[in-house]
Structure 1
C-alpha cells in the first residue's frame, strides 16, 4: 500500500508539472512576442523622435509602448504565479517523499534487526526443524526466502525514493532561482515603464508648444479619413445593392419559369405544379451569402474568428478600434492602425474576391469580400491585385505606405456595413 501511495504521489507530481510547463511555455512565448513588438515600436519612435514636428503617430506610438510594457509586466506576474504554484507543489512532494523515505528506513531498520537476531545458518535451520510437520517447514523456508527478497526490494525502494527526493530538491532550487530572475526582470520592466511615462509627459508638454500646428494636422487627417470612409462605405453599399439585385433577378426568373410551367400544364389539361412561395426581399446577409461559394466563404471566415493571420508579418497596434479623444474632440476609428516596418508586405487575412481597388489621396485602398464579411486594407503605397480577382489567405496584395515617418496600415473588418473590432478576429 505504501508503494502504491508513493507511485500515486509521483504520478500526480509529474502530471501537475507537465500542465504547468505547458502554461509556462505559452507565457514565455507571449512575453517574447510582446518584447518583439516593443523593440519594433522603439525603432519607429527613435526615428520619429528626431523630427522637430510632433505627430499623432508619435503620441499613439508612445501610448502603445506603455500599453505593451504593462502587458509584459502582467505576463511576468502570471509567470511568477505559475512559479509559486510549482514551488508549492514541489515543496509538498519533497515533504511527502521525506515522510515516505523515513517510513521505508524504519521498516528496513526493523528488518535488519530481525536479520541480526537470526543471522547464522544454525538459527535458520533450528527455525525450520522446529516445525510441526513438513507443510509448516516448507512454509517457513518460503518465508525466509521471501523475507530476503523483500529486504532487497525495500533497499531498492529506499534508493529510488532518495534519488527522486534529490531530483525534486534540485527542481525546487531551480524554480526558486527562476522566481528570483523573474522578480528582477519585473523590476527592470517597471523601471522602463516609468521612463516611458516620463517620456509621455515630456511629449505632451511638447504638444502644448506645437498645439496650433498639431490641431491643423488632426483636422487635415480627419478630413482625409472622412473622405476615405465615405468611399469605403459607398463601395460596400454598391456591392450589397448588386448582390440584392442579383438575388431579386434570380427570384424573378424562378417565378417566370414557374408561371410558364403553370400555363403549360393548364393548356395540357393537367394539374399545375405548386406555385412557389412569393419571393421576399433578401436581407444583406442573405444577399451576400446567396450562392454556395459565398456561403462557404462566410462560414469559413466566421469559424476562424480569433485565428485569422495578421495583415502584415510584423507590427504593433498603435491605435485601437472605437472612439478616441484628440484635442478635446471625439473621433471614431472603424478599424485598427498597425505600425509596421518600411516596405512591409500587406497580406489578405482570408481567401475571397477583391471588391474594389481605389487610390484616395494618393494612397491605395483594397476591399476584399468574404461572403458577408469584408476586409479593408488602407494606406498602401502600391497594390498588386485588381478588382474582381480572387485572393488566397496570406497572399500579398500590396505594400504599406509611410504616413509621416511611420509605415502604418489601417485595417478594418466589417459584416456588411457594420464595422467589427479586428482585435477579436486576428490571432493574439
Structure 2
C-alpha cells in the first residue's frame, strides 16, 4: 500500500502554526505574570504607606507579627513571580538566539546562490548569447521551453533578492527584540535583588520579635484565646440575628418548613437580585477603596502559637484612616447591629446572600434602606492607641459563610 508523505509546504505551514501558538502562549503568560507582579508591588506600596502613617503608634506584638507575616508573604510571592518572568524571558532569548543563528545560515546559503546566479547572468548578459541560446534549439517547442526557462530564471533571481532582503529585515528585528529582552531580564534581576534584601530584613525583624514573644508565650497565648472567644461571641450573635431575619422573612412568605430555617424565602424580585449577585462573583468591588487583606477566611494556625487556631468567618482589611465603607452590591440594609463593647456592624441583604461590614465608627444607613453598588454606608473605625484602621468583612448565603476572596475582584 502506497504511503503519501506530507509535502514540504504542509510541513512548513504546520511548523508556522505551532510556532505562532507558542508565541501567543508565551506572550499571554508574560502579560499575566507582569500584571500579577504589578499587583504585588502595589500591595507592598500600600503596606509601606500604612506602616509610615502609623509609625508613631505603639502596636501590639500580635499585630506586628501579623504585619510582618503578611509583608513577608507578599515579598516572597513577588520574588517567585519575578523569577518566573525572568525564566520565561530567558526561554525567549534562547529561542531568538537559535533563530538568529538559523537565519544567518540561511542568509549565507541564499547569498551564495544569489552570487552564483549573478555571475551566470553576467556571463550571458549580452543579447547575442541569449539569441544564440534560443536559435540553437532543435525545434520550436524546445525554443519555447528555453524562453520559459530564461523567464523563470530571471523571476527566481528577483525573488531570491527579495527573500534575502526580507530575511535580513527579519534578522534585524529579532536582534532588536533580543536586545530589549536582555535589558528587561537585567532589570528584573536587579529589582529581585532589592526585593530579596527587603525580604531578608523583614525576616530578621520577624525573628527578633518572635524570640522576644516566646519569652512570654503563655501571656500572649492567653490574649489570643481571649480574642478568639470574643470573635466567637460576635459570630454567634450575628448567626442568631441572621436566623431571626430568615425566620421573619419565611413567616411573612408563609414558608415554615424545616429546610427553610437556614435560607430566605425569596420573592420574584429577590430571586433576580440574588441571580445578579451570583453572576458578579469574582467581580464585586472592594468594600473600601484602598487596602489589603491582613487575615484571610477560614480556620488557620495562629502565627505566634501554632497550637492555637484562628477561626475567621470573613476577612480583615487594613486601610487608611478615614476610609469610607462601600456596599459591594445592590441590596437592602437588613440590620445595623450594635453589641456591647463592639463597634457598629451593617448587614446588607442581596436576595438570599448577606454581606457584613464590621468595626465601623460611623454608619450612614438604617435598617430598610435600599443601597446601590459602591454606595457609602459608613466609615471604618481607627484605633486611637495603635492607629490601626481595620474593616472586617464577611459574606454568607443564609447562615453559611463563604470566602469573600472568591467574590471580590482580585482579593
2:408 maps to 1:426: yes
| Secondary structure of residue in 2 paired with 1:317 | strand
| RMSD after superposition | 2.9
**What does 1:167-316 align with in structure 2 at a 5 Å threshold?**
167-208=173-214, 218=224, 221-222=227-228, 224-248=230-254, 281-284=258-261, 287-288=263-264, 290-316=266-292
- The answer for the alignment partner of 2:170 in structure 1 is 164
Residue pair 1:413, 1:422 contacting (<8 A) in 2 also? yes
Equivalent-residue separation in structure 2 for 1:55 and 1:137 (angstroms) = 99
User: Of residues 371, 376, 397 in structure 2, which corresponds to 1:391?
Assistant: 371
Measured in 1, the distance between the counterparts of 2:87 and 2:330 equals 41
Contact 1:288 1:294 in 2 (8 A): no
Deviations 1:327-369 (A, max 9, x none): 5543311111110111122222222221111233352211112
Tell whether the 8 Å contact from 2:41 to 2:78 is kept in structure 1 after alignment: yes
TM superposition outliers: structure 1 runs of 4+ over 4 Å:
1-15, 208-220
Query: 216-225 vs 299-308, which deviates more?
Result: 216-225
Give the total of aligned pairs. 398
Counterpart of 1:381 in 2: which secondary structure? Answer: strand
Structure 1 residue 247: deviation in Å? Answer: 3.5
For residue 78 of structure 1, report the CA deviation from its aligned partner: 1.8
**CA distance in structure 2 between the aligned counterparts of 1:167 and 1:314, rounded to whole angstroms:** 42
CA deviation string 1:134-156 (max 9, x = no partner): 44434433432332232112101
Q: Secondary structure at the match of 1:283?
A: helix
- Give 3-state SS (helix, strand or coil) of 1:355's partner: strand
Structure 1 residues 52 and 243, CA gap change in structure 2 (3 angstroms): closer
The answer for the alignment partner of 1:269 in structure 2 is: none
| 1:418 to partner: Cα distance | 1.7
DSSP-derived class of the 1:288 partner: coil
Of stretches 68-77 and 105-114 in structure 1, the one that deviates more from structure 2 is 105-114
What secondary structure is seen at the aligned counterpart in 2 of 1:402?
coil
Aligned partner of 1:317 among 275, 293, 306: 293
1:402-413 to structure 2, matched below 5 A, reads: 402-403=382-383, 404-413=386-395
Cα distance in 2 for partners of 1:338, 1:234 equals 25
* Superposed CA offset, 1:220-248 (max 9, x none): 64454344223311221112112322333
**Aligned residues of 1:101 and 1:158 also touching (Cα < 8 A):** yes
Q: What TM-score do you get using the length of structure 1 for normalisation?
A: 0.83
TM-score by length of 2: 0.86
2:319 to 328, 340, 343: 340
Distance 1:207 1:39 in 2: 28
1:91 corresponds to? 97
1:355-405: per-residue Cα shift (whole Å, max 9, x none)? Answer: 111233352211112222211110111122221222222222211111332
The CA distance in 1 between the partners of 2:12 and 2:107, in whole Å, is: 10
From 381, 385, 403, the counterpart of 1:401: 381
Change (3 A) 1:349 1:33: same
- Say whether residues 1:60 and 2:42 are aligned partners: no
| Higher mean C-alpha displacement, 14-23 vs 290-299 | 14-23
**Match 1:32 to one of 28, 38, 41:** 38
2:110 counterpart residue number: 104
CA displacement at 1:214 relative to structure 2: 5.1
Q: Secondary structure at the match of 1:366?
A: strand
Deviates more, 1:198-207 or 1:308-317: 198-207
**Deviations 1:272-312 (CA, angstroms, capped at 9, x unpaired):** xxxxxxxx654357x52532222223233333332222212
Q: Would the aligned equivalents of 2:243 and 2:261 in 1 still touch at CA under 8 Å?
A: no
Q: CA deviation at 1:11?
A: 6.7
Question: Counterparts of 1:118 and 1:15 in 2: how far apart (Å)?
Answer: 47
Query: Are the counterparts in 2 of residues 24 and 79 from structure 1 also a CA contact under 8 Å?
Result: yes
Aligned to 2:4: none
